[in-house]
Structure 1
Amino acid sequence: MNIPTPSKTAASVRSPFQPFQRELSRFFDELESGWEAFTDFRLAPSMDVAETKEGMEISLELPGLSREDVKISMDGDLLTVSGEKKAEREEKDRRYRLVERSYGEFSRSVRLPRSIDPATITAAMADGVLRITGTKRPDAATKTIEIQAS
């Protein structure tokens, strides 16, 4: 059975997928060199910010950290949670095949609404979750404004 071979003109035409194929090849070349090529990023813990009836609640996942590893600061209305997760692994007699846990400094900030009283902000940490709460100012209640006839 004869299979037709592409003509020289068809082979010389550039494929629209060629850039994608080149990037995919580069990706797999880096993958072969080790996972370290993909670990150059800052640690950013997951954060949820929720408005509650009383005010607001911020939750951050900080597995493996203690209260002493975390710092919470306020600068005006900007609340910042920062810290460092230190590497605990011992290299002696081990050759890691895969390292997915991240280590290093982290910082997450959130701008608080003006309705939150900074004096009421509290924080508690349990089971690797940091919960920060703040209550609304007493004067921040929503009021209805009646429209007057003109």
Structure 2
Amino acid sequence: MAPPMTRRHQPGTALSGRSGEFADVYDQMGELLNAAFGGLGEELPWVPLADVYETKDAYVIEAELPGVRKDAVDIELEDRELVITGDIVEREGRGLFRRRERRTGRFELRTHLPGEIDPDGVQASLSEGVLTVRVPRSTTERQRRIEISD
């Protein structure tokens, strides 16, 4: 079973093969919800595309972050929730946009890992625009015998 991830839509991008009219309605609903509950015009972070899978000894998260430097990404692990955050700043000195699809601004990816993990063995690498985080599974046995007291 794949761990749940939070995904938010970025205005102006396609919604997984859905029509443009539906994407517009989706954007409008997002703006209404953000105005009602989002907090004084603060823009919600977008979620990078990612794959989360497990091997026999680890959970692996691969997130697409093209053009992002490793010092612009923060990775935190609290209990079994992995949080990847960062900010992509827009480059200055560009002319008038004719088409704009690349995302900028704050991003956040959260995923809950379903099993026991070894937080001391977490490894992360960023190569060719893909951030790979490997979270090893715990090697300690959680099962133990319980003695019945008198």
Structure 1 residue 138, shift from structure 2 partner: 1.6
Distance in 2 (alpha carbons) for counterparts of 1:134 and 1:141: 18
Matches within 5 A, 1:71-90: 71-90=74-93
- 8 Å CA contact 2:80–2:117 kept in 1: the answer is no
Q: Which residue of 1 aligns with 2:52?
A: 49
* Per-residue CA distance 1:23-57 (angstroms, 9 max, x = gap): x6xx6xxxxxxxxxxxx874321111101011211
TM-score, length-scaled by structure 2: 0.61
Q: Which residue of 2 aligns with 1:145?
A: none
* Per-residue CA distance 1:78-104 (angstroms, 9 max, x = gap): 11000000001424xx32221111110
CA RMSD of aligned residues (A): 2.3
Distance in 2 (alpha carbons) for counterparts of 1:53 and 1:75: 22
Structure 1 residue 141, shift from structure 2 partner: 8.7
Distance in 2 (alpha carbons) for counterparts of 1:129 and 1:141: 34
- 8 Å CA contact 1:115–1:140 kept in 2: the answer is no
- Find the residue that maps to 1:73 and give its secondary structure: strand
| Matched residue count | 103
Distance in 2 (alpha carbons) for counterparts of 1:63 and 1:76: 28
Matches within 5 A, 1:1-150: 42-91=45-94, 94-140=95-141
Structure 1 residue 115, shift from structure 2 partner: 2.1
- Structure 1's unaligned 5+ residue stretches are 1-23, 28-39, 143-150
Q: Which has the larger radius of gyration?
A: 1
TM-score, length-scaled by structure 1: 0.61
Moved over 6 A (4+): none
For 1:104, give the aligned amino acid: G
Higher helix share: 1
Q: Matched residues, percent identical?
A: 28
Structure 1 residue 77, shift from structure 2 partner: 1.7
